[in-house]
Structure 1
Amino acid sequence: MRGHCLCGTIRYEVTPPVLSCVTCHCDSCRRQCAAPMTTYFGVRDGQWRWTGDEPKTFASSPGVTRSFCSDCGTPISFRSQSMSDVLHLYVATLDDPNQLEPTLHVAHEEKLHWLKLGDGLPTCTGPDYTKVQPLP
């Protein structure tokens, strides 16, 4: 699996398996991605690598570091101290974003009231990764 930022400066490769793929509604993800929600997938360290330039990082909140391209601004990933051996990459940065589908909505309590979901996926409060179903 490969992905990149809008301008192509930041590039990465991932070796499956992917741990999870979820849609997040938290304020931090919405603000970083300038979207009402975002979908990301998690991979363990050692299963991914930068193949272009490395992204710039920003400590967005206690225990969370987010990365982005310093040239075009594309959000690339985030890492949480609570899952320190996992990098979460944004599905929209994949060369083929259709290869992954989310299995859960996290931080559902922060969902924008005007956003109507009709996908039938389960929801949870906060980033409760205990409810994340492993991908096949």
Structure 2
Amino acid sequence: MCGRCLCGATRFEVDPPVQTCVNCHCESCRRQCSAPMTTYIGVLDTQWRWTSEAPKVYKSSPGVERTFCENCGTPLSFRSEKMSGVMHLYVAAMDEPEKFEPTLHVAYEEKLPWLKLADNLPTCIGPDYTRG
């Protein structure tokens, strides 16, 4: 499974299986992606790699790093110390995003009030879905 930024300068590969696929409503993800929510996959550090130039890293808050292409600005991933050993890659950056179906909404308490959802997925309070 492969992914890339808009301009193609930053590329990555993922070895299946993915650990999770979730919709995130936290303000940080919304701001990084300029979207009302975003969807990402979680993969173990041993199951993914950059295959071209590595992206720039932005430390958005204590213990959280977000990456983006230095050339075109595409957001690609985030990593949290709370979920060590896992990289979270944005599904929209995957070459075949339709192959990933979310199973959970995280940080649901931050969902924008005008965003109406009818998918009946379970919700989790806070961005750390490992808390259950």
Instruction: Give the aligned partner of residue 61 of structure 1.
Output: 61
Secondary structure of the 1:30 match is helix
CA RMSD of aligned residues (A): 1.0
TM-score of the superposition, structure 2-length normalised? 0.97
Instruction: Give the aligned partner of residue 89 of structure 2.
Output: 89
- In structure 1, list runs of 5 or more residues that go unmatched: none
Is the 8 Å Cα contact of residues 7 and 71 (structure 2) preserved in structure 1?
A: yes
Is the 8 Å Cα contact of residues 107 and 125 (structure 2) preserved in structure 1?
A: yes
1:16-44 Cα shifts (integer Å, max 9, x gaps): 11000000000000000000000000000
Alignment partners' CA distance in 2, 1:26 and 1:69 = 21
Note the C-alpha offset of 1:46. Answer: 1.3
Find runs of 4+ consecutive structure 1 residues off by over 3 angstroms: none
Q: Which amino acid in 2 is paired with 1:58?
A: Y
TM-score of the superposition, structure 1-length normalised? 0.94
Instruction: Give the aligned partner of residue 70 of structure 1.
Output: 70
Instruction: Give the aligned partner of residue 104 of structure 1.
Output: 104
- In structure 2, list runs of 5 or more residues that go unmatched: none
Seq. identity, %:
68
Q: Which amino acid in 2 is paired with 1:120?
A: N
Secondary structure of the 1:46 match is helix
Q: How many residue pairs are counted as aligned between the two chains?
A: 132
Instruction: Give the aligned partner of residue 117 of structure 2.
Output: 117
Alignment partners' CA distance in 2, 1:29 and 1:130 = 17
Instruction: Give the aligned partner of residue 20 of structure 1.
Output: 20
Alignment partners' CA distance in 1, 2:111 and 2:121 = 14
Alignment partners' CA distance in 2, 1:67 and 1:130 = 22
Is the 8 Å Cα contact of residues 3 and 94 (structure 2) preserved in structure 1?
A: yes
Note the C-alpha offset of 1:131. Answer: 6.5
Note the C-alpha offset of 1:83. Answer: 1.3
For the pair 1:3 / 2:3, whether they are aligned, the reply is yes
Q: Which amino acid in 1 is paired with 2:93?
A: T
